[in-house]
Amino acid sequence: MPPTIILAALLFAAPAPAKATTPAELEASAWRLMKPYREAEIRALFAPDLITLYADGRHDLAQEMRAIGAVRLSKYALGPISSHSIDANNILLTYSVDLRGTVGNRPVSDRRWVASLWHRSHGKWLTVYHTEIKAK
């Protein structure tokens, strides 16, 4: 599994804590759901028609959940999350993350640049798009 899938899995895998109300708060909380891995809570943050994009191609929700399940995160540090309002119901988040862990049996340790698009539908924020690239 490509290392870029790790981050997407980590980023979107957020528990929705009672006080997490903004996409940035939800995005940050996703990281906490990865240790330990909480599949149902992670899935609840994704729109059914989620699209993720990595070096190995486009992924749907089922592919993303399989990728997230292969991630074992030992350490991470998020850079400042920038929130860009597209309109009242769409927010683009951009940030960096430094992470350590494994994908399958392969160790991963690097910095990545991340972008996530959150959409509000029926009063609930869900991730509709996510991508990440390894920093140089």
Supply the pLDDT for residue 20: 65
Q: Residue 124: beta bridge partners?
A: 121
More confident residue, 126 or 31: 126
Q: Given this model, what pLDDT does residue 30 score?
A: 87
Query: In whole angstroms, what is the distance from residue 82 CA to residue 22 CA?
Result: 12
Contact assessment for residue 44 and residue 27, using Cβ atoms and an 8 Å cutoff: no
| Structure tokens given for 21 | 């109300």
Read off φ and ψ for residue 90, nearest 5 degrees.
Answer: -140, 125
Mean pLDDT of the chain: 87
Is pLDDT above 70 for 10?
no
- Which pLDDT score, from 0 to 100, does residue 34 have? 83
Residue 13: pLDDT above 50?
no
| Mean pLDDT, rounded, for 78-104 | 96
In this prediction, residues 10-34 reach a mean pLDDT of: 72
Query: Residue 26's closest CA among 128, 131, 118, 133?
Result: 118
pLDDT in tens, 38-83: 899 999 999 999 999 998 899 999 999 999 899 999 999 999 999 9
- Give the Cα separation of 59 and 66 in Å (integer): 10
CA atoms of 22 and 1, how far apart (whole Å): 30
Question: Which tokens is 41 given?
Answer: 């809570």
pTM: 0.83
B/e letters for 29-65, b = 16+ CB within 10 Å, e = fewer, are bbbbbbeebeeebbbebbbeebbbbbeeeebebeebb
